[in-house]
Structure 1
Amino acid sequence: MTVTLRFQDSGEGIPLVLLHAFPLSARMWANQRAALSDTCRVITPDLRGFGASPAGDGEPSLEAMADDLYQLLDRLDLGSVVLGGLSMGGYVAMAFLRKYPHRVAALVLADTKAAADTPQIRENRHKLAHEVTETATINAVYDRVLPTLLGRSTRDHRPEVVSEVRDIVGDATPAGVAWAAQAMAARPDSRDVLAKANVPALVIVGDEDQIVTVADTEAMADALPKVTMARLMAAGHLSAMEDPRAFNAAVRDFVGSLI
């Protein structure tokens, strides 16, 4: 069963849907909504179980999240959109592309990868889900996930970003974290899906990303037929928050090329 997503909608023009990272919410896109709304219509949903969107039930899967997004696009009477996602948001974007390719006019994939999880990463996700469920807290997120989300430059020189990220993560619930962690662990390899995506694509990576390497990103870009790649030199995994000026410039140029 689908979940009715809460979302924010700013600007006019080409619809750009941005899907947030784990374990954040659409709050992470505040800078993009402000900076890009003069270029396009920026739509930022809270994925199920995060922000203001209710948690779903059933077997955890990214396909369920993709179905939620499909329902949202129908509610907004949107045909095809520029679909973007960072980290988990990128995984959901690829799941959406697999199921509903006719609704994707272009892709923006940031700090994410097309390959399925390794056995070790999959095991770590299940451990995280178990721990937050057993403790009924997200303390494990603060201990295991939060330290890897930001690059060295941000941790050393941008305390306001560190504080904002921690604040957004603090809104996450154990149920939402557990469900999403298991959904990500179950995701398939998506390189075959990208290879068939005959649409323009922008791939972005923070050079200090500890979770998705530049090599991971290059492998994903190699699978895409029509790709532009942007590498942000002083940003980590949350590149849209860590270097919003460079991130927004790359997206603005990309969307402008579609007109």
Structure 2
Amino acid sequence: MQKSLTFKNATISFSDQGTGTAVVLIHGFLENATMWKNVVPEISKRNRIVTIDLLGHGKTDCLGYVHSMELFAETIAAVLKELRIRKCILVGHSLGGYIALAFAEKHPQKVKGLCLMNATSNEDTLERKASRLRANKMIANNFRNMVRMSFANLFGPKSKTIFKEEIELAVLEALQTPMQGYIAAQEGMQLRKNRNHVLTDNSFKKLLIIGKKDPVLDFETSLDEAEKTNSAIVVFENGHMPHIENKLALNDALKEFIKIC
């Protein structure tokens, strides 16, 4: 059921369904809660599932031109407070993973488990930071093409052919993201800090879902991160978007992780 609350004069849109262990699904950049449409029906059979449209995405308003990971995390905390959820499992895809880490850093006592789905606790490289800033300068003059290019770059050539229809639907959702939301999220991501310590210093369960052909995150670096932070891993053969490229396997991996938390 779709609901909303007001946070710092911004409307935050979210949904809440099912009963059992609370699982919060946090979407990525240029996505919204609809990205979980193939996940929610399966894992809500035995769990309470909360999905949230992040600031500047979906049906949620923007709050200025910098959406820091800490600000995003505050909105997650506001939704959990509204729903009276004291403890939950967090699953964050890409940007959603960075936000989950920021939330867990501030509220470790509220976290039963943390799954980084094609995300990292490392900060952006200098090259990546520069790339985000360049994109923000270019976006004003070429929004649609920039959004399409950003999304297309998340898939390898083979996936672009196999999942052409699903990718086009996802692109149409991405194009609904306002320019302000695009800019604010990019600014926030390039400012985010290293949060390896969130994984190493906490006793809650941790899982990294990694794509061998992920064009955003280097595979070997992700494996090294998992080892250094003592996090469990699930490896998929495809890229950055397992909810499109590995639907059934993703559901199985999430159900297994939820079970052990």
- Map of 1:212 onto structure 2: 217
RMSD: 1.7
Q: How many Å separate the matches in 2 of 1:247 and 1:257?
A: 16
Paired letter, 1:36: I
- Helix, strand or coil for the counterpart of 1:48? coil
- Map of 1:232 onto structure 2: 236
Alpha-carbon offset, residue 236 of structure 1: 1.2
> Which of 24, 27, 35 is residue 28 of structure 1 equivalent to?
35
- Helix, strand or coil for the counterpart of 1:18? strand
Q: Which runs of 5+ in 1 are unaligned?
A: none
- Map of 2:199 onto structure 1: 194
Paired letter, 1:175: Q
- 2:199–2:206 CA contact under 8 A, matched in 1: no
Q: How many Å separate the matches in 1 of 2:209 and 2:244?
A: 13
- 1:154–1:162 CA contact under 8 A, matched in 2: no
Alpha-carbon offset, residue 59 of structure 1: 4.3
1:175 is aligned to 2:180: yes
Q: How many Å separate the matches in 1 of 2:100 and 2:106?
A: 10
- Map of 1:137 onto structure 2: 143
Q: How many Å separate the matches in 2 of 1:223 and 1:4?
A: 39
- Helix, strand or coil for the counterpart of 1:201? strand
Percent identity, aligned pairs only, is 26
Alpha-carbon offset, residue 58 of structure 1: 6.4
* Correspondence list, 1:146-161, <5 A: 146-161=151-166
Q: Deviations over 1:167-186 (max 9, x none)?
A: 22111110000000000000
Q: How many Å separate the matches in 2 of 1:223 and 1:205?
A: 15
Number of residue pairs matched by the alignment? 254
Alpha-carbon offset, residue 29 of structure 1: 0.7
- Helix, strand or coil for the counterpart of 2:143? coil
> Which of 249, 257, 260 is residue 257 of structure 1 equivalent to?
260
* Cα distance change, pair 84–186 in 1 and its aligned pair in 2 (3 A): same
1:53 is aligned to 2:54: no
Q: How many Å separate the matches in 1 of 2:143 and 2:216?
A: 23
TM-score (norm 1): 0.92
Q: How many Å separate the matches in 2 of 1:23 and 1:118?
A: 21
- 1:49–1:177 CA contact under 8 A, matched in 2: yes
- Structure number with the higher strand fraction is 2
* Correspondence list, 1:82-93, <5 A: 82-93=89-100
- 1:16–1:40 CA contact under 8 A, matched in 2: yes
- Helix, strand or coil for the counterpart of 1:217? helix
Q: Which runs of 5+ in 2 are unaligned?
A: 1-6
- Map of 1:39 onto structure 2: 46
Alpha-carbon offset, residue 118 of structure 1: 1.2
TM-score (norm 2): 0.91
Paired letter, 1:101: P
